[in-house]
Structure 1
Amino acid sequence: MVLAFNAPLAVVVGFVPVVIGYGNGIGAPVAFVAAGVIVALFAAGFTTMARHLPNPGGFYAYITAGLGRVVGLGSSFLALLCYYFMTIGSYAYGGLVLESLVHDTYHGPDIKWWIWVLVLQAVIGTLGYFKLDLSARILSVLLVCEVVIVLVYDACVVAQGGSAGLGVSSFTPHSIFSGSIGIALLYSITCFGGFEATTIFRDEVRNPDRIVPRATYLVVGVVTFMYALGSWVLIQAVGTAKVVAASAADPTGTFMASLETYSGRVAVDLVTVLLNTSIFAAILSSHNITTRYLYNLSADGIVHKSLGTVHGKHGSPHRASLTASAAAFLGMVPFVVLGANPSQLYAVLVGIFGYALILLLLITGVAVPVYLRRNRVAGANSWNSLIAPVLAIAGLAVSVVLATQNFHLLINGSQSLTNSMFAVVYGTFVVGVVMALVYRRTRPAVYARIGRQ
């Protein structure tokens, strides 16, 4: 479920070339490794806290436990916004690539992208209604196909020696700090989005105290390896002299052209199909994470109590899932009515997701050592309760500063749009904070349940 959210194929096809073209060029593999190290350091304290705080609330629960209910509720609203925007943006992109697949690849009818969005929403809503096991089985099959095709491409490029022989110039200081290391780091960390879902789904897995830490490190390790290797392979395939310009001019086209050169036309056709399933898997995962945040807020009395109901037969938070589906539908309507470009819509909403994610990681990164040092937690030591979290905070703080300075590039928008998006992100956090303060004064029973502390 969590690896599927990262959509390995979609990232390798779309995000990796962007990091090369607009980030630090041929030093992109190191950017992915650096992002992986930051997230792994973060996970050291995060998973230790998870064993002591068996609460499936994700960032919401951990921030509340470490920094209090006021900051916790503000962060829960920010997390909900984060994954809600990711869901809507992914729906738009999914509709666009389905339209292209049917009309351009298979020469079928020219059906508008938003109609394909309705189809996707119907399928996602149905799967989200049923037990997590059903969604997990489907995502597992799609994920295996994605990983296999990416590794086959990697093997083909390496076996053929790339465009001019294999090299290690990506790992020199000159290459690492070329271009914009800030943009590279921002996109690289964004590619790890959703890894905290290992804790959100802890109530729905067996032996969570053992599985959750292992799953978290597995996700971080696999994602780091795949994207660092994938970026290095693409650089070797296109050539160090040409890859930056080619990736900047046509990110997706650069990978697809390379794929055809080294793996053949059949591989291109297969990837064209799997790209759609990769996006589908990411949407389904994002929907499920959004659903669980709604469910946990309902269980804490913040939103209507009916959303905290579990289906008697399927064991799923079915009402929260239906609400998430309805919200995604309503959120898409104004963009369709206004004739928004789905590609631009995706860029803006995923940009907000990336920024909000890094902000959430930083807040959680502060909450974790505060909690672990304040409480006697079994398994906590100087490394996972202080050293690793502080190093992670430093890396994330730099990332937030860089994200703020380069947010207009992240969403590919004007300064006025950038300011509007900042208002949405920080305004959502403030709404949660104000609501917590109001509840503390007027509804102390509800306030006491925030984060289920």
Structure 2
Amino acid sequence: MTSTPQVRPDIPTAGAADNSNSGELKGAMTTFDIVFTVLAFNAPLAVFAGYLTVIIGYANGLGAPLTLLAAGLVVLVFAVGFTAMSRHLPNPGAFYAYITAGLGRPMGLGAAFLALICYVFLYVSSLIYAANSISSLVQQVFKGPLIDWWIYNVILIAVVGVLGFFRITLSARILTVAMCLEVVIIVLYNAVVFAQGGSEGYTSAPLQLHYILGGSVGLAVLYCIGMFSGFEATAIFREEARNPEKTIPRATYIVIAVVAVLYSVTSFAIIIGIGPSSVVDATATDPVGSVLSSIDHYLGKTALDITQVLLCTSIFAAVLAMHNIIARYLFSMGRDRVFPRKLAAVHPTHGSPHIASFATSVIAVVFLIAVLVIGADGNALYAKLAGIALYALIVLLLLTSVSIPLYFRKHADHGIGAWKTTVAPLLSGVGFAVALVLATKNAAFLVGGSQTAANLLIAVFIAALLLGIGYALVLRKQRPDTYARIGRQEVA
């Protein structure tokens, strides 16, 4: 008899009395459906153009390639315990479910609130980034009219909302096509640069220790871990995956490996392509422009125009992936009755969380209105929102690293070795703890240089965590049946 908590089939789900809601999400996502969905969340072409250059220009310069590999190793070690828990704890919800199982329902609900803030900030950041990129594309490549960026935002929210209404496999197919196209451009650029030897020839500088530890290594570690954001979302699609016991772990490892190798090799190519003597200054002065100029130099004007189009599709794919992830978080919390039960409604035909998807679109509209009311600059705001989300992500990774060994200690009959249940999670936890300290020290940079804004964001995260914990304690006293469901846990 296993001690693994299970979701009892007799637990009432939202709309149980309504035949339009089955209570179970439907889908048959393969390993690669999930891989491409999560990689789309990561937006490789947007990372190539806008973030790898930031690591080179503002962090540790020529040490970026190996720093990315080191960050990938920390995340890979974390995945050892994460995937072991995904097999043993068949509850969708990722951070929400796992932290609840290890650290208890109050901390789990606090983490869920924090995760929602993290993903919503990433979602809104990507929406604004996409709107600005599309605006630039229309004007510069297609010589179209100047249209306010927020109009593109409204169109994006509508299109993504419609796709979120249908079965997840439709979104997965769209994301797969977008991912393949953008990866082709990145690999083509890398191949041509390495074949030609770059502007100054080959260099071994990125392999030298003083470069790796030089510059702002703290920012480098922080951003490099952030480049793996979204890998944990593999577990969110558990209910819609084909053979999830095998599909989820495979997808997790593939995502981490692809991101580590692709970004490390690409950052090396950028260094060689622009030239080791000038790449730091060039990327610091104009992160996106320096890469686009390099693409123009090595691949030509036509490839540059195609890249600018694919940059927009890359960010759109990220927006779609984030929309789906947030919708499933809301679905899980609605099903637990922590949020209104309507959020757990499942479309009778498409098997999608259509009400949660609609709620996600509403959240995006509310944020957009708030941005317009305060008159914020969209070009500056998206980077700050992404930085805020990055900080929250590291907190969640640290909490999950601690929760994994605690969970397996509670359920001692798991039959899994100490490496997966204890050693690997704690080792990765040390790495994330170091990253969190570095993130706190560099929080002002993440939000555009304002220490006041940095202090405010840290306060917001602490408040979100405490709000979730406080809400859980209220539920324990006033609605014990709901409290028992937190994190998709067993109801006695």
TM-score normalised by L of structure 2: 0.91
How do 1:100-115 residues align onto structure 2 when only pairs under 5 Å count? 100-115=136-151
> Residue 478 of structure 2: which of 422, 439, 442 is its match?
442
Distance 1:348 1:98 in 2: 20
Question: Which has a greater percent of helix?
Answer: 1
**Structure 1 position 75 matched with structure 2 position 111:** yes
1:377 is displaced (CA, Å) by 5.4
Q: What's the secondary structure of 1:54's corresponding residue?
A: coil
**Does the Cα contact within 8 Å between 2:332 and 2:488 map onto a contact in 1?**
no
Distance 1:323 1:256 in 2: 37
Q: Tell me which residue corresponds to 1:143.
A: 179
**Does the Cα contact within 8 Å between 2:43 and 2:318 map onto a contact in 1?**
yes
> Residue 269 of structure 2: which of 233, 236, 239 is its match?
233
1:4 is displaced (CA, Å) by 0.6
Aligned-pair Cα RMSD in Å: 0.9
**Does the Cα contact within 8 Å between 1:48 and 1:379 map onto a contact in 2?**
no
Cα shift readout 1:256-300 (whole Å, capped 9, x = no counterpart)? 111111111111111000000000001111111100000000011
Q: Tell me which residue corresponds to 2:89.
A: 53
Q: Tell me which residue corresponds to 2:13.
A: none
Q: Tell me which residue corresponds to 1:120.
A: 156
Q: Tell me which residue corresponds to 1:168.
A: 204
> Residue 322 of structure 1: which of 341, 358, 364 is its match?
358
The percentage of aligned residue pairs carrying the same residue is 50
> Residue 269 of structure 1: which of 305, 308, 315 is its match?
305
1:418 is displaced (CA, Å) by 1.2
Distance 1:93 1:24 in 2: 25
Distance 1:399 1:442 in 2: 38
How do 1:175-186 residues align onto structure 2 when only pairs under 5 Å count? 175-186=211-222
**Does the Cα contact within 8 Å between 1:130 and 1:314 map onto a contact in 2?**
yes
Q: What's the secondary structure of 2:272's corresponding residue?
A: helix
How do 1:173-212 residues align onto structure 2 when only pairs under 5 Å count? 173-212=209-248
Q: Tell me which residue corresponds to 2:439.
A: 403
Listed as ranges, the gaps of 5+ residues in structure 1 are none
How do 1:424-439 residues align onto structure 2 when only pairs under 5 Å count? 424-439=460-475
**Does the Cα contact within 8 Å between 1:52 and 1:377 map onto a contact in 2?**
no
**Does the Cα contact within 8 Å between 2:114 and 2:464 map onto a contact in 1?**
yes
Distance 2:373 2:410 in 1: 52
1:338 is displaced (CA, Å) by 2.5
Corresponding letter in the other structure for 1:269: D
Higher mean C-alpha displacement, 63-72 vs 86-95:
86-95
1:379 is displaced (CA, Å) by 5.5
> Residue 451 of structure 2: which of 415, 429, 434 is its match?
415
Corresponding letter in the other structure for 1:381: G
Higher mean C-alpha displacement, 223-232 vs 102-111:
102-111
Distance 1:411 1:229 in 2: 28
> Residue 296 of structure 2: which of 260, 272, 278 is its match?
260
1:88 is displaced (CA, Å) by 0.9
Q: Tell me which residue corresponds to 1:360.
A: 396
Distance 2:152 2:259 in 1: 29
Cα shift readout 1:53-94 (whole Å, capped 9, x = no counterpart)? 011111000000000001000000000111011111111111
Q: What's the secondary structure of 2:270's corresponding residue?
A: helix
**Does the Cα contact within 8 Å between 2:296 and 2:303 map onto a contact in 1?**
yes
1:337 is displaced (CA, Å) by 2.5
**Structure 1 position 344 matched with structure 2 position 380:** yes
Distance 2:475 2:84 in 1: 30
Corresponding letter in the other structure for 1:325: S
How do 1:271-350 residues align onto structure 2 when only pairs under 5 Å count? 271-350=307-386
Cα shift readout 1:213-261 (whole Å, capped 9, x = no counterpart)? 0000000000001110010010011111111111100000111111111
Corresponding letter in the other structure for 1:45: G
Distance 2:280 2:458 in 1: 30
Listed as ranges, the gaps of 5+ residues in structure 2 are 1-36
> Residue 28 of structure 1: which of 47, 61, 64 is its match?
64
Distance 2:414 2:244 in 1: 16
**Does the Cα contact within 8 Å between 2:404 and 2:422 map onto a contact in 1?**
no
Relative to 1, partners in 2 of residues 1:265 and 1:77: Cα closer, same or farther, differing over 3 Å? same
**Structure 1 position 5 matched with structure 2 position 28:** no
TM-score normalised by L of structure 1: 0.99
Distance 2:460 2:164 in 1: 27
Higher mean C-alpha displacement, 189-198 vs 287-296:
189-198
